[in-house]
């Protein structure tokens, strides 16, 4: 089990007129979370491959690419070629999940699978041993700035228990409404990667990252 927490600021909340500067201001984080929305799987559009290529040039942090799209298999190679280090697709959009995971690994990237709030952790049973990371959505995907769904804490605990039963320890990431108020409880439940958007991209970004990290470490210290 990871003994520390990873902080992954979501640049969906960044100022895109100053993206290079924004990336410098989050350099104390561990990952850059890159949300891709297609207007079909989720009711919004974000950014894609050309922006990812520019982000790759502007930061040394690993890129955590979250594909909130239909037919993720059709664009996997494009996002990997553009610089993705982690590729996360949604279980709900991937009837052939094992094939996608295998292909991501063949391309030398880390494979992650996301679960919407309404998706039960049991869908992970057949692939959990192949995943490098599991993303538990703690809001309904598609828009930044939403309020955290409180029942997600129990879902994180269920995902951690499922991993323990299988004898595996993928990273457990959470995304949606994360900040200092809930970081400890989320990490105590079993999470060790926190995606944070609006709670990072305001005021002093480095201070915000450190404050979330400190709260999260308190929760990790209390994990059973």
| Domains identified in the chain and CATH numbers | 6-221 (3.20.20.70)
The reply, when asked if residue 64 is annotated as ligand binding, is no
Cβ proximity of 135 and 159 under 8 Å: no
Instruction: Determine which one of 30, 38, 64, 175 is catalytic.
Output: 175
State the pLDDT at residue 223: 83
Say whether 175 is catalytic.
yes
The reply, when asked if residue 219 is annotated as ligand binding, is no
Q: Token digits for 201?
A: 């991209």
Instruction: Determine which one of 30, 35, 38, 64 is catalytic.
Output: 35
Give the burial string for 172-191 (b: 16+ CB within 10 Å, else e).
bbbbbbbbeebbbbbbbbbb
The reply, when asked if residue 197 is annotated as ligand binding, is yes
State the pLDDT at residue 33: 98
The single residue listed with the structure tokens 């990072």 is: 200
The reply, when asked if residue 179 is annotated as ligand binding, is no
First to last CA, the chain: 11
Torsion of CA 161, 151, 40, 122, to 10 degrees: 30
State the pLDDT at residue 220: 93
The reply, when asked if residue 198 is annotated as ligand binding, is yes
Say whether 35 is catalytic.
yes
This prediction has a pTM of: 0.95
Q: Token digits for 9?
A: 């600021």
Q: How far apart are CA 200 and CA 91, in angstroms?
A: 28
Torsion of CA 87, 91, 93, 99, to 10 degrees: 70
Per-residue pLDDT of the chain in tens (224 residues, 90 and over written 9): 457 899 999 999 999 999 999 999 999 999 999 999 999 999 889 999 999 999 999 999 999 999 999 999 999 999 999 999 999 999 999 999 999 999 999 999 999 999 999 999 999 999 999 999 999 999 998 766 678 999 999 999 999 999 999 999 999 999 999 999 999 999 999 999 999 999 999 999 999 999 999 999 999 998 86
Q: Token digits for 156?
A: 């994180």
């Amino acid at each position: 089990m990871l003994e520390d927490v990873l902080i992954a600021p979501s640049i969906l909340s960044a100022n895109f007129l100053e993206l290079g500067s924004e990336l410098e201001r989050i350099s104390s984080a561990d990952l850059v979370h890159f949300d891709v929305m297609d207007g079909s799987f989720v009711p919004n559009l974000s950014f894609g491959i050309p922006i990812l290529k520019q982000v790759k040039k502007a930061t040394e942090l690993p890129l955590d690419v979250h594909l909130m799209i239909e037919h993720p298999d059709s664009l996997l190679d494009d996002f990997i070629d553009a610089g993705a280090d982690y590729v996360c697709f949604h279980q709900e959009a991937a009837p052939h999940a094992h094939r996608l995971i295998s292909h991501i690994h063949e391309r030398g990237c880390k494979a992650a699978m996301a679960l919407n709030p309404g998706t039960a952790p049991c869908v992970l049973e057949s692939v959990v041993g192949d995943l490098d990371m599991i993303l538990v959505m703690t809001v309904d995907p598609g828009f930044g700035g939403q309020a955290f769904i409180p029942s997600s804490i129990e879902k994180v605990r269920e995902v951690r228990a499922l991993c323990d039963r299988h004898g595996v320890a993928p990273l457990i990431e959470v995304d949606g409404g994360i900040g200092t108020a809930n970081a400890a409880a989320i990490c105590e439940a079993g999470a060790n990667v926190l995606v944070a958007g609006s709670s990072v991209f305001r005021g002093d970004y480095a201070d915000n990252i450190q404050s979330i990290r400190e709260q999260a470490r308190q929760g990790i210290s209390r994990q059973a």
